[in-house]
Chains A and B, each alone.
Chain A
Amino acid sequence: MFDMSRPPSAPRQVVRTEDTFLARGNKSRRDGRQQQVQAQNGAEWVALVKRVSDAQDTAAFTALFEHFAPRVKAFLMKSGASHAQAEEVAQDVMVTVWKKAAQFDPSRASVATWIFTIARNRRIDMLRRDRRPEPEELFWGPEEEPDQLQVIALQQESDQLSAAIATLPEKQRIMIEQAYFSDRSHSEIAEETGLPLGTIKSRIRLALERLRHSLS
């Protein structure tokens, strides 16, 4: 597995997928009342969450919202939510992002991963699925600030992972997407695609192995 605690070993590239470049912020605003805010990589998204947490910065939140809210909505719709339901829950997820900004720990997750876990939990509530208890937290000690080197390493690892997923063959990417996003078990996927279960499982495994390989 890609060990998140390991310091980066290879020279890092800044990940520049087209999408992260679409960093919209308030680009479309012409009135110039608010400063344009953009983020292009994990570290910059972290900085925006910190601005929301420290200064209740609406411009920073707007950039987060315009990037993540449509993605969360798309994620929920892929899970079987209606347009209206997905809209409602996506807004709800973004309210939680603001309210919990101070609890976000960038030494343990990227902003995208953090928002994914919030959206996943809301999806489980929304679909009234089985409860998903969480393991007890490790005790980190009082008011411990995250180690900056660890933050940088983890955010770069996450950028790399995102880039690695972007380069996966379409078939493998879809398999991972179905495992994460669709509210269906492996056997239901098999029924729909007519693929035997073993093939599906081995495709997911193959995708993971490719991910591991591209990160090593």
Chain B
Amino acid sequence: MITHHLSDKLLMAYSAGSLPEAFNLAVATHIALCDECRARLASFDAIGGAMLEQTQPTSVVLQDGALAATLARIKAAPAIAKPVHEPRGEGILPEPLASYVGGDIDQIEWRGVGGGVRQAILQTSKIATARMLYIPAGVAVPDHGHNGMEMTLVLQGVFADETARFGRGDIEIADEDLDHQPVAEPGEDCICLAVTDAPLKFRAFLPRLAQPFLRI
């Protein structure tokens, strides 16, 4: 059961369409797994709809013949096929994450970052970074604080830090104030999507030195 959800602020920004791509990816992937946040997102979209309804268009005038022009474009435009919704597969990764990875977890090209921890950077716009993290069961991710915001979505296994325990679908939202050391619980290796809008600050000397090369 998912116990760590998206904040109102993030849901509203996703609804408004004002987040960097990497954050959009984490929000959308959490929603794919979490019906509660899906319903909350619908509420935020409804606020957007109500705001559109309330907009006073008096100062904005359409061009003459706008309706006729639109009807002509409708005639010329091809029909839009109804999308086919496949039932969810058995994979670990839901959409949209699976598309970013190019398949399920067996398609990820991991690179070791030390201590058995592996990562794979996903292709997004540069404002924020999205990466898959593989933390072997029982292993700790290097102790780090944050310059900006970090979101960590668990897809397999469980990790725990000083604040709480996170299983599949749970999302941890950490900011400057949180200085944490996540540890994967024994049993299953932990796979996460981690998104940051600023480089992490590592405590230990060596990880900090390695940071520019690892892009985390």
Q: What residues of chain A have their CB less than 8 Å away from a CB belonging to chain B? A: 1-5, 19-20, 58, 61-62, 65-66, 68-75, 77, 86-87, 90-92, 94-96, 98-100, 102-103, 108-110, 112-117, 119-121, 123-124, 129-140, 157-158, 161-162, 164-166, 173, 176-177, 179-181, 183-185, 201, 204-205, 208, 211
Task: Report whether B17 and A121 are in contact in the complex, using a CB–CB cutoff of 8 Å.
Answer: yes
Name which of B22-30, B150-158, B177-185, B204-212 contacts chain A. Answer: B22-30
Task: Report whether B66 and A69 are in contact in the complex, using a CB–CB cutoff of 8 Å.
Answer: yes
Told that A113-B45, A161-B47 touch, could you supply 8 new A-B pairs with CB distance under 8 A? A75-B55, A99-B80, A110-B46, A113-B46, A113-B49, A131-B21, A162-B49, A184-B18
Task: Report whether A131 and B125 are in contact in the complex, using a CB–CB cutoff of 8 Å.
Answer: yes
The secondary-structure label for the interface of chain B is: helix
| 8 A-B pairs closest in CB distance | A113-B49, A70-B57, A133-B96, A136-B95, A130-B21, A112-B49, A135-B31, A135-B32
- Alpha-carbon separation in the docked complex, A179 to B14 (Å): 11
* B87 beta carbon closer than 8 Å to chain A: yes
- Alpha-carbon separation in the docked complex, A9 to B203 (Å): 54
- Alpha-carbon separation in the docked complex, A134 to B31 (Å): 9
Task: Report whether A109 and B16 are in contact in the complex, using a CB–CB cutoff of 8 Å.
Answer: no
Give every chain A residue within 8 A of B73 (Cβ-Cβ).
91-92, 95
Give every chain A residue within 8 A of B74 (Cβ-Cβ).
95, 98-99
5 A-B contacts, Cβ less than 8 Å apart?
A19-B54, A69-B67, A130-B24, A135-B31, A205-B8
Task: Report whether A158 and B60 are in contact in the complex, using a CB–CB cutoff of 8 Å.
Answer: no
Q: Assuming the A-B contacts A132-B24, A135-B32, A180-B47, are A120 and B66 also in contact, with contact meaning beta carbons closer than 8 angstroms in the complex? A: no
For B, the interface residue count at a CB cutoff of 8 angstroms equals: 66
Task: Report whether B87 and A158 are in contact in the complex, using a CB–CB cutoff of 8 Å.
Answer: no
- Alpha-carbon separation in the docked complex, A61 to B55 (Å): 20
Give every chain A residue within 8 A of B19 (Cβ-Cβ).
130, 132
Name which of B36-44, B113-121, B132-140, B168-176 contacts chain A. Answer: B36-44
* B12 beta carbon closer than 8 Å to chain A: yes
- Alpha-carbon separation in the docked complex, A114 to B88 (Å): 24
Task: Report whether A158 and B50 are in contact in the complex, using a CB–CB cutoff of 8 Å.
Answer: yes
B10 to chain A, nearest CB (A): 12
Task: Report whether A136 and B96 are in contact in the complex, using a CB–CB cutoff of 8 Å.
Answer: yes
- Alpha-carbon separation in the docked complex, A201 to B29 (Å): 25
- Alpha-carbon separation in the docked complex, A42 to B79 (Å): 26
Give every chain B residue within 8 A of A120 (Cβ-Cβ).
15-17, 48
Give every chain A residue within 8 A of B85 (Cβ-Cβ).
137, 139-140
- Alpha-carbon separation in the docked complex, A183 to B35 (Å): 28
A211 to chain B, nearest CB (A): 7
A175 to chain B, nearest CB (A): 11
* B77 beta carbon closer than 8 Å to chain A: yes
- Alpha-carbon separation in the docked complex, A131 to B130 (Å): 13
Task: Report whether A116 and B88 are in contact in the complex, using a CB–CB cutoff of 8 Å.
Answer: no
* B164 beta carbon closer than 8 Å to chain A: no
Task: Report whether B88 and A130 are in contact in the complex, using a CB–CB cutoff of 8 Å.
Answer: no
